[in-house]
Copies of this chain bind each other. A is one copy, B any other.
C-alpha cells in the first residue's frame, strides 16, 4: 500500500521533533509546560482576566501565571488586551492559532482524565508521588 498515512505512522515522514535541533521543541516546551497546558485549557472557555485565570488554574502563582501568559503571547497563541483603565483591567484570549493548539492539549488532558481509573489501577505498584 505504501500510503501517506502508512509512511507517517511508520515514522518515515515524521518531522524532525526527534532531532535535537528542531525548533518545534521550544514551542512544545511552552505548550506542554506545567502551567502552559492549564492556561490554554482555561482560556478555551473564552476571554479571561488575570485574576480569573489565577482562580481557575489551581495552585498557580502570580509570577508563573504572568510568565506563562507572556510566553504564550510571544508564541502567538494568546492575545493580551490592556484596557488601560485604573484599576487595571487586562484580559487574555486565545488567538485562532491558540485555539488550535489548545484543542490538542485539551484532547490529551481529557484522555488522561477519562482514563484515570484505568491508569491508576494498581496492576503495577505505583508508589511514587511525582
Contact = CB atoms under 8 A, between A and B. Distances in A.
So how many copies of this chain end up in the complex?
2
B58 A112 contact: no
A109 B42 contact: no
A108 B115 contact: no
Contacts of A17: 37-38, 41, 109, 112-113
Contacts of A75: 119, 126
A58 B108 contact: no
Contacts of A59: 20
Contacts of A115: 97, 100
Interface in A71-130: 71, 73-76, 97, 100-101, 104-105, 107-116, 118-121, 123-124, 126, 128-130
Interface in A22-60: 22-24, 26-29, 31-34, 37-38, 41-42, 44-46, 56-59
A58 B14 CA distance: 14
14 contacts: A10-B45, A10-B46, A15-B113, A17-B41, A18-B42, A19-B58, A20-B59, A22-B113, A27-B112, A32-B108, A73-B124, A76-B124, A100-B111, A104-B107
